[in-house]
Structure 1
Amino acid sequence: MGFLEERDLSGVPTIPDFYKGKTIFVTGGSGFIGKVLIEKLLYSCTDLDRIYLLLRNKKGVKSEDRLAELYAAPCFQRLKAERPGVFESKVFVVSGNVMEAGLGLSQEDRALLVNRVNVIFHVAASVRFDDTLKYSTQLNLRGTVEVMELAKEMRELCSLVHVSTSYANTNRDTIEEVLYPPLADWRETLAICEKADEHTLKILTPKFLGELPNTYTFTKQLAEHVVNEYKGQLPIIIVRPSIVISSIDEPIPGWIESFNGPVGIFVACGKGIMRTIHTKADIKSDFMPVDVCVKNIIAGAWIRGTKIMDPTDDIEIYNCCSGNLHPILMGDLIAMSKQVAKDVPLDNMVWYMGGTITASEKYHYVKVLLQHLLPAMLIDTLLWLFGKKPMLVKIQRRIYIANLALRYYTTQQWTFTNTNFTKLRSVIKLEDIEQFYYELESTNVVEYFKQCCLGGRRFLLKEKDEDIPKARLHCQRMMVVDRIFQIAFYTVLIWWVCSKIVKVFNLHSNIF
């Protein structure tokens, strides 16, 4: 039985009232989604009791110190200004590690969580496509097992949200909001990965992955089956975001933490260092703004937590993706990136912004060689001659590796259904519409991606808004240089072709 059908929601509390007085446990709180989730909970559900974050000691920095670093992120500026003191009084660290047995929790911390926690958000995951099978299995699979086992002990748990991915079942053309058959036995996979050495696993990895492209999607698919084994025992939902990108509005318009997705394309094109993208113009790209994703996660915990747990309850799945709500074609995305790059140019662009779609894989690699690698080598040589550090070949190598990892996603088309995703927003109470209703249909795409580019400037490249006029002048200069270069190149090319034709004509004239 679902949580949205055959229910009278008139007596159900509002979302802030549901979270009022509740204790929340979050894994992955230091990640992109995790930070926005924490900020939104504290901002819009301020009367919650407290949030416990599972943080590990990292690179010699203690988990308690990492909490201060987390709060220093720009995405908490709104909270600091409008809800001063809330983070400091309501957010606490429990030291541990998702990859360790028992989550690496001390007995005291485990007892604390067992006795107090009401809502769990399991967000922690390895999202890198090139992680080894052993590492990805430990984090995405073993971590989920440990969270589920901890949840089983909790006495007052009313809701558990497991964050998966829309791309966990890419061996199918249409991906619905259902649990598909497992691609392997998760217990056997976990046992093999924990016992086998890295060399053996490297050989076995292609056999494990089968039709899936990487260890991330494979382990996330199996993790859903770990969660499913607790059906009827724990109050669980699964949220499957697609590619999560910059925020529309909250906590800051354009907030972003990584170069993943279209922001990376904007930046690379805007700097003039990416000239070819292996994809097809008519492929629909599915991106999810992080604030929309977080609202769906928070509302999902609410709709599950306001229903009394029943052994017959299914685990409801939400494909948190745009689907047909607001599809964007790759061709339109590239065209927008060029226009946005003119309006919001990046500082110190290497060349005038560019980037074209190349459907042919072989032709794409020829263009990578001619338009990426060779110019990078030339510029690095000039930098070296002027006593500066060469850098462009290194950057182009990163772009190449990133494009290899994304090629599977940029050259294929899937149809995502999101019936539960849209149904959930339709039952949000009138009092919660302003803070928690989410939609994509009314978004002005050009303005949104302009905010994405501004966010990339501010938060990723650390460029200042007041330098935009100077960047525009530099952009205009680079446009002139680009045009002069193209005119010179094609003039030389035409001259060379004409000279060859003249030589052939003269040769034929002499013969006859």
Structure 2
Amino acid sequence: MKEGNEKVPIPKYFQGKSLLITGGSGFLGKVLIEKLLRSCPDISIIYILLRPKKGKTLQERVEAITSIPLFDLLKSTYPENVQKIVPIYGDVTELGLGLSNESRKILIESVNIIYHAAASVRFDDSLKDAIILNTRGTREVALLAREMKHLELLVHISTTYCHTDKQIIEEKIYPTEIDWKQSINIAESLDSHTLNIFASHYMNSFPNSYTFTKRLSEDLLTELCSGRIPTVIIRPSIVISTADEPMPGWIDNFNGPVGLLCACGKGILRSLYTDPDLIADYIPVDMAVKGIIGVTWLDALEKNQDNSKQLQISVFNASNNNVNSITYRELMAIGDKVTKYYPFHNTLWLPQMTITKFYILHYIRIIFFHVIPALFIDGLLKMAGKKFRLLKIQRKIFIANMALHYFITQTWTFKNDKALRALKMLLPSDYKDFYLDPKDHEPYLYFINATMGVKKYLFKEDPKDLDIGKKHYFRMLIINIIFNILWYLGLFYVFVFKLNILDCFKDILHYIYTYFCNL
């Protein structure tokens, strides 16, 4: 890490190194690969664990990954670096990672740094599948790492939400009472249906299989790696679209807050069940990646200076805690403003989101603003001879909202002192490419870029063509006003003329008047 008495800049540290990345085809994995090849251009090689998919060979999958807009800046600056991505046939769900003897030997002989980012982030995964991929897969990576002859660091990408049984999550290892070995044995021996029967009891206080298996993964790394190989665990919070690099607003999935933004912007999601005053902890994916690279460098620096720390496990929390906090109320206000001035094309209704922490009120809103309109529109589509699926979409949104319920109705404090300290340790020459400060990013501007990214990369709309969206938004506004007038007139008619509410009200007033007059 040093030349003489000087710290080595981050690109210099990565110079000539061979990396192995699992989960390289995932959202965070792709951003990590692009950033490493662009900002550390002298990296020797990046092996990524892949398997053939949808009839594509490994090389075709690499070409598909690098053909997306995310890699355009890399291709214009260091086009030759794309060739440094080398696919290795493997599967994290298989024993031994599904590696051939030849591939395993290559990795053992050459890899210097491992980034283990492969994981299922689906909250509704069966416990069996989640344990096999997230926990046993991590075990197989750790066992491979222990064989590597030139390994300098194993970096495990975890999540801040794997310790939600604690109100304050510090940057340290938390042991669990559940045995990770036993969990793997159970997952290997039982079928999914049988395991799911007692899954909630087995997971105890954990809200889903994702957080549970990521917690077990940290436990097994402590047992398998501590005192044996240099290891870093970094826990990002909710990872969302890019803030700056390589372009603002890049996204490739509907997960998390982006999915809510899309559903709200399309006029499908009208009610959100959460406490509006709770903090929404998220981190743009490019900031998370800068943090991952930065703590890799920092950990190597500190362990180079103090040999007693060489084989200790370091933990970093990559979160927005006490940096650029924003509540769900503020987030929804921003969302309403953004979707008004940068509306999506072909919205189904006027975007109007309401937040409540009262489940009964939320449930009533779901019935009136989600289910009934979906049934009405599906009925019209059916009469027109077209496919009707809005009710099905509303069902998926409801399930997704309830899956997020545990996380958006509570708040935690994720201590990030060590992660923030890594920023202060950067050399001036590294500031341009690796310095990050969430305070520099104004939330409103960020979500404008996020919305434009959703329009371009997910909905395939031209972000420059705002007139289409604005005209449609105005039409939806007029329809919404007319509908509300008719709705309230209808209620007035029913209550006044059909239910004789006025007569009932007069009788009540007369009774009260008579009662007080007779006192």
Identical columns (%): 42
Listed as ranges, the gaps of 5+ residues in structure 2 are: 515-519
The answer on whether the counterparts of 1:232 and 1:311 sit within 8 Å (CA) in structure 2 is no
Q: What is the aligned partner in structure 1 of residue 517 from structure 2?
A: none
Q: Provide the secondary structure at the position in 1 that maps to 2:492.
A: helix
User: Please, which moves more after superposition, 181-190 or 291-300?
Assistant: 181-190
Going from structure 1 to structure 2, the CA distance change for 1:381 and 1:156 (only over 3 Å counts) comes to: same
Q: How does 1:102-501 map to 2 (within 5 A)?
A: 102-229=96-223, 230-306=225-301, 307-308=303-304, 310=307, 312-313=309-310, 314-499=312-497, 500-501=500-501
Q: CA deviation at 1:232?
A: 2.2
User: Please, which moves more after superposition, 173-182 or 486-495?
Assistant: 486-495
CA distance in 2, matches of 1:344, 1:10: 52
Going from structure 1 to structure 2, the CA distance change for 1:121 and 1:377 (only over 3 Å counts) comes to: same
Query: What are the superposed Cα offsets for residues 384-417 of structure 1, whole Å, 9 maximum, x if unpaired?
Result: 2222221211211111111111011111111111
Q: Provide the secondary structure at the position in 2 that maps to 1:252.
A: coil
For 1:423, the aligned partner's letter is R
Q: What is the aligned partner in structure 2 of residue 91 from structure 1?
A: 85
Going from structure 1 to structure 2, the CA distance change for 1:466 and 1:443 (only over 3 Å counts) comes to: closer
Query: What are the superposed Cα offsets for residues 324-346 of structure 1, whole Å, 9 maximum, x if unpaired?
Result: 10111001111111100011100
CA distance in 1, matches of 2:483, 2:46: 58
CA distance in 1, matches of 2:111, 2:251: 30
Q: CA deviation at 1:204?
A: 2.3
For 2:212, the aligned partner's letter is F
For 2:346, the aligned partner's letter is N
Question: 4+ residue runs of structure 1 moved beyond 6 angstroms?
Answer: 505-509
For 1:158, the aligned partner's letter is E
Q: What is the aligned partner in structure 2 of residue 49 from structure 1?
A: 44
Going from structure 1 to structure 2, the CA distance change for 1:371 and 1:337 (only over 3 Å counts) comes to: same
The answer on whether the counterparts of 1:319 and 1:416 sit within 8 Å (CA) in structure 2 is yes
Query: What are the superposed Cα offsets for residues 300-336 of structure 1, whole Å, 9 maximum, x if unpaired?
Result: 1112234338465431111111011011100111111
Q: Provide the secondary structure at the position in 2 that maps to 1:317.
A: strand
TM-score by length of structure 2 reads 0.94
CA distance in 1, matches of 2:455, 2:66: 21
TM-score by length of structure 1 reads 0.95
Q: Provide the secondary structure at the position in 2 that maps to 1:328.
A: coil
CA distance in 2, matches of 1:9, 1:392: 65
Work out which of the residue numbers 77, 80, 89 in structure 2 matches 1:82: 77
CA distance in 2, matches of 1:42, 1:162: 20
The answer on whether the counterparts of 2:162 and 2:211 sit within 8 Å (CA) in structure 1 is yes
Q: CA deviation at 1:8?
A: 12
For 2:37, the aligned partner's letter is L
CA distance in 1, matches of 2:346, 2:177: 47
Q: What is the aligned partner in structure 1 of residue 13 from structure 2?
A: 18
Q: CA deviation at 1:418?
A: 0.5
Going from structure 1 to structure 2, the CA distance change for 1:432 and 1:370 (only over 3 Å counts) comes to: same
The answer on whether the counterparts of 2:295 and 2:419 sit within 8 Å (CA) in structure 1 is no
For 1:182, the aligned partner's letter is T
User: Please, which moves more after superposition, 189-198 or 125-134?
Assistant: 189-198
The answer on whether the counterparts of 1:161 and 1:300 sit within 8 Å (CA) in structure 2 is no
Going from structure 1 to structure 2, the CA distance change for 1:194 and 1:508 (only over 3 Å counts) comes to: closer
Query: What are the superposed Cα offsets for residues 47-94 of structure 1, whole Å, 9 maximum, x if unpaired?
Result: 110100000122333322211111122211111222222202x11010
Q: CA deviation at 1:374?
A: 0.9
CA distance in 2, matches of 1:228, 1:11: 32
CA distance in 2, matches of 1:288, 1:505: 54
Q: What is the aligned partner in structure 2 of residue 69 from structure 1?
A: 64
Going from structure 1 to structure 2, the CA distance change for 1:9 and 1:305 (only over 3 Å counts) comes to: farther
The answer on whether the counterparts of 1:118 and 1:159 sit within 8 Å (CA) in structure 2 is yes
CA distance in 2, matches of 1:318, 1:31: 21
CA distance in 2, matches of 1:498, 1:268: 36
Query: What are the superposed Cα offsets for residues 260-305 of structure 1, whole Å, 9 maximum, x if unpaired?
Result: 2222222111111111000011010100100000001111111223
Going from structure 1 to structure 2, the CA distance change for 1:508 and 1:13 (only over 3 Å counts) comes to: closer
User: Please, which moves more after superposition, 382-391 or 280-289?
Assistant: 382-391
| Equivalent pairs, count | 506
Query: What are the superposed Cα offsets for residues 114-157 of structure 1, whole Å, 9 maximum, x if unpaired?
Result: 11111110000111111111110111111111111111111111
Listed as ranges, the gaps of 5+ residues in structure 1 are: none
The answer on whether the counterparts of 1:233 and 1:311 sit within 8 Å (CA) in structure 2 is no
CA distance in 2, matches of 1:265, 1:385: 30
Q: Provide the secondary structure at the position in 2 that maps to 1:41.
A: helix
CA distance in 2, matches of 1:183, 1:412: 23
Q: Provide the secondary structure at the position in 1 that maps to 2:64.
A: helix
The answer on whether the counterparts of 1:160 and 1:301 sit within 8 Å (CA) in structure 2 is no
